[in-house]
Amino acid sequence: MCGILAVLGCIDNSQAKRSRIIELSRRLRHRGPDWSGLHCFENCYLAHQRLAIVDPTSGDQPLYNEDKTVVVTVNGEIYNHRQLRENLKSHQFRTGSDCEVIAHLYEEHGEDFVDMLDGMFSFVLLDTHDKSFIAARDAIGITPLYMGWGLDGSVWFASEMKALSDDCERFIAFPPGHIYSSKQGGLRSWYNPPWYSEMIPSTPYDPLVLREAFEKAVVKRLMTDVPFGVLLSGGLDSSLVAAVASRHLAESEGAYQWGSQLHSFCIGLKGSPDLRAAREVADYLKTRHHEFYFTVQEGIDALEEVIYHIETYDVTTIRASTPMFLMSRKIKSLGVKMVISGEGSDEIFGGYLYFHKAPNKEEFHQETCRKIKALHLYDCLRANKATSAWGVEARVPFLDKEFINVAMSIDPEWKMIKRDQGRIEKWILRNAFDDDKKAYLPKHILYRQKEQFSDGVGYSWIDGLKDHASKHVTDAMLANASFVYPENTPTTKEAYYYRAIFEKFFPKSAARQTVPGGPSVACSTAKAVEWDAAWSKNLDPSGRAALGVHEAAYEEAPEANNVTAVSDSFKVFPDGIVGKTATVV
């Protein structure tokens, strides 16, 4: 990942202003420690902090068209850049950067080219002919982008809030799948797939079509000129990413430079479910496995730094970001700059345990749509910012545009959890890779129960966070929370503790409004809490709050009564551990 900052239409274009832009851009240097760039045209500034992944030697930014009248600063990867170049043969390219196609596509197609890009990206493009500009963000919001407005009439864009919050009167999270045009004077959607309307699809389930779409998504993300690996938690999503990457690595360009043995990474408290499961998968796939440990105290000590980097006070995001933040530091110390991760699967397939209570296929599908639309506020934000804090890029094949189109067109009846038929959460994904002739994974990994990353690293992690918060937030503080924090009022001591840290770094009202709120159980949306009356009395984002569903559900919930435990639906490890781990690849 890189860091971008653009300031357009400011009144002051003095040397002092240039120095200020450079100073603010430095706040993003953790995202791109390899090089810095700044282009100034009259009262417009485009700055860039580069993490070199493709074409490290010549792809410094900002990037230009032939005569440098079109300037672009980009954060992201364009996986189909070679195919796009084939249709731009009349253009002269200066670099091997995958992002340079953006400047030339604009020359050919004007503002209507964004849908041609296959990748993850946020960019700002300046046309110096008329000083017009556009900004755009990828379909799901894998890469972060914020937009702000200065008192002098300037418009700002930045990869992270910290680069513009001090200088903008108001700012927002730039919506995924949108483009801003200075000519048209506002935001408009460029991404409008069929599933976005939440209409119920009817395409029959074809396991081979689903499998092939995912394999293509993984292979695309092997495009790199630097060392890379996979994040392996040992659950379904991360294990499938690792399995597919292992199968195709030898034929990729990266194998010629870095070898054909895949590196895998996992973190957890000693004895945690993830570490055991990940080790087993790594042994099965014969990856070069790196196992990292952290203690609860080390995680607590990192909380302030984590919240500064991920720019949220959402409880589940902070719980999961902390171990990912610590792991990313270890990964970078090994010289690795890119990892492939498993975010998005649970949203697409209804993998969270609360989906066991979905009353019908209509509500099931609509909840998956809501979850995907909100990913940029939760898992995408976590995966991007927790890794970028240490100059590591995370790629997410489950959020490939074409794969999402295939998966979200399937009749949701096939995604419904039906234990009496042996269909557990994400059964259609598990079944697609259940190949007896050439097994991708051992059966008990393929059918491991869902475990959220913040749980899978060790249950005592969340318990330790709650205990720590209780020591610093008194009953009186929580009782008066609505007066201190009237917007998105924290309802637990843990939430209050995180909010206080967030407000220290980002005190403006606009900052707190970039963070979502509302009740949640086991990562559900507020709407899905209505599926079970007992959940409203046990609101917690941990998977263990899925009462009567999770093997280690919170014991103190008295009304977890009407769903039998699902252990008979899963194959169990010899030590009794059951579960599927969330996203870290």
Task: Tell whether 321 is in a known binding site.
Answer: no
Task: Tell whether 577 is in a known binding site.
Answer: no
What is the DSSP secondary-structure string of 282-343?
Answer: HHHHT-EEEEEE--HHHHHHTHHHHHHHH----HHHHHHHHHHHHHHHHHHHTT--EEE--T
Task: Tell whether 231 is in a known binding site.
Answer: yes
Contact, 94 vs 170, CB < 8 A? no
For residue 353, the 8-state DSSP code is G
| CA separation for the pair 582, 472 (Å, rounded) | 30
| CA separation for the pair 142, 78 (Å, rounded) | 13
- Phi first, then psi, for residue 101 (nearest 5°) are -60, -25
Query: Residue by residue, what is the 3-state secondary structure of 180-224?
Result: EECCCCEEEECCCCHHHHCCCCCECCCHHHHHHHHHHHHHHCCCC
Query: Which residue, chain included where needed, has tokens 């010899």?
Result: 574
Question: Which residues are known catalytic residues?
Answer: 2
Task: Tell whether 90 is in a known binding site.
Answer: no
DSSP H or E run through 446:
helix 443-446
DSSP H or E run through 470:
helix 459-472
Cis peptide before 574 (omega within 30 of 0): no
Task: Name the token pair of 457.
Answer: 């690293």
Contact, 73 vs 126, CB < 8 A? no
- Phi first, then psi, for residue 548 (nearest 5°) are 80, 0
| CA separation for the pair 412, 75 (Å, rounded) | 34
Contact, 59 vs 106, CB < 8 A? no
Task: Name the token pair of 556.
Answer: 């103190």
The CA distances from residue 361 to 9, 347, 365, in Å, are 49, 15, 6
Contact, 163 vs 23, CB < 8 A? no
| CA separation for the pair 342, 333 (Å, rounded) | 22
Task: Tell whether 166 is in a known binding site.
Answer: no
Binding residues for ATP: 231, 267, 341-342
Binding residues for L-glutamine: 98
